[in-house]
Amino acid sequence: MKRREFVKSTAVFTTLSVMGQSVLSGTLLKPKQPIGLQLYTVRDQIRDDLEGTIAQVAKTGYTVVEGAGYSKGTFYGLKPGEFKSLLDSVGLKMVSSHTNTASLRDQADATLKDAADAGATYVVLAWLGPNERKTMDDYKVVVDILNKAGEKAKQYGIKVCYHNHDFEFQSIDGMMPYHLLMEKSDPELVAMELDLYWVTKAGHNPLELFEMHSGRFPLWHVKDMDDTPEQNFTEVGNGVIDFQKIFDKAEQAGLNYFFVEQDRCNRPPLESIKISYQNVLKLS
């Protein structure tokens, strides 16, 4: 799946126009490419009721997920095979899993094998702590970790990725860390998971990144920004990000999977993921 494709239904929606918002509009579509959810969005619900929450995610319509609960060889407290079986039972598949720097540096083989055993094809370095990103030399260390893990990942059928926030776009000594990550990481070994909210909040245009680094972005986080000075998280389609223009360039980006995510919700998260799902269906 290298291009975002949808099959048109017979129901046609009129264009919605809301001042200050870029509401998703168009034809109601059933996607050939699966709509994914980053499970961090429902982390509190998973903590209280793992099986029930997973069932609700599937019932909403999501068919793939990205994990954010890998720790000590388990996913949300379950061994890789057990977690895969739970997802299988409701028709879900974990295609990607988040991890941290220490896991990729010190336990790369175990981390990659566990992800593969759980059914994933991507392992993503999801976050750099403040002490890991003070200088450009710190970012060079990160690149080295990614490249080495990416080489090991080949034997497990896994691709290593890097997930951005906004700090990678903040200049250090006149240089932008994200450019270093893109230029020094081996494109054959390391791909990028582009978080559309954070890159937008940092003042950069995803389309320009697609143009500069065609094919490097197989994974996206589809996350919206509200129309307030605080630029808070909101449901996909209820904010100001023009996802239609971004999805129109899916092939250039190299998109394989995307994941709806909302770090914080003003309504019950299971309600928020339903709103986002329905709005994503309107992308054409």
State mean pLDDT over 35-49.
Answer: 98
Alpha-carbon distance values, 85 to 121, 130, 278, 283 (Å): 16, 36, 27, 31
Please tell me the predicted confidence (pLDDT) of residue 284: 56
Model pTM above 0.95? no
Kindly tell me if the per-residue pLDDT of 10 is higher than 70. Answer: no
In a domain, 51, yes or no: yes
In a domain, 47, yes or no: yes
Please tell me the predicted confidence (pLDDT) of residue 256: 97
Please tell me the predicted confidence (pLDDT) of residue 6: 33
Kindly tell me if the per-residue pLDDT of 199 is higher than 70. Answer: yes
Kindly tell me if the per-residue pLDDT of 174 is higher than 80. Answer: yes
Kindly tell me if the per-residue pLDDT of 11 is higher than 70. Answer: no
If you search the block for the tokens 């240089």, which residue do you land on?
175
- Residue 37 · residue 260 · CB < 8 Å: yes
Kindly tell me if the per-residue pLDDT of 145 is higher than 80. Answer: yes
Alpha-carbon distance values, 8 to 31, 32, 69, 101, 247 (Å): 9, 10, 35, 42, 16
Please tell me the predicted confidence (pLDDT) of residue 29: 40
State mean pLDDT over 171-192.
Answer: 98
pLDDT confidence bin for 72, thresholds 50/70/90? very high
Kindly tell me if the per-residue pLDDT of 18 is higher than 50. Answer: no
How many domains is the chain partitioned into structurally? 1
Give the integer Cα–Cα distance in Å for 126 and 252. Answer: 23
pLDDT confidence bin for 32, thresholds 50/70/90? low
Please tell me the predicted confidence (pLDDT) of residue 82: 98
Convert the pLDDT of each residue in 244-276 to its tens digit: 999 999 999 999 999 999 999 999 999 999 999
Hey, how many other C-beta atoms are within 10 angstroms of the C-beta on 105?
Answer: 17
What does pLDDT average to over the chain?
Answer: 90
Give the integer Cα–Cα distance in Å for 116 and 114. Answer: 5
- Residue 62 · residue 96 · CB < 8 Å: no
Please tell me the predicted confidence (pLDDT) of residue 283: 83
Please tell me the predicted confidence (pLDDT) of residue 8: 32
Residues above pLDDT 90, as percent of the chain: 87
In a domain, 1, yes or no: no
Best mean pLDDT range from 4-8, 22-26, 116-120: 116-120
CATH number (domain holding residue 131) = 3.20.20.150
Q: Which domain, by its residues, includes 185?
A: 6-280
State mean pLDDT over 64-81.
Answer: 97
In a domain, 131, yes or no: yes
In a domain, 201, yes or no: yes
Kindly tell me if the per-residue pLDDT of 7 is higher than 50. Answer: no
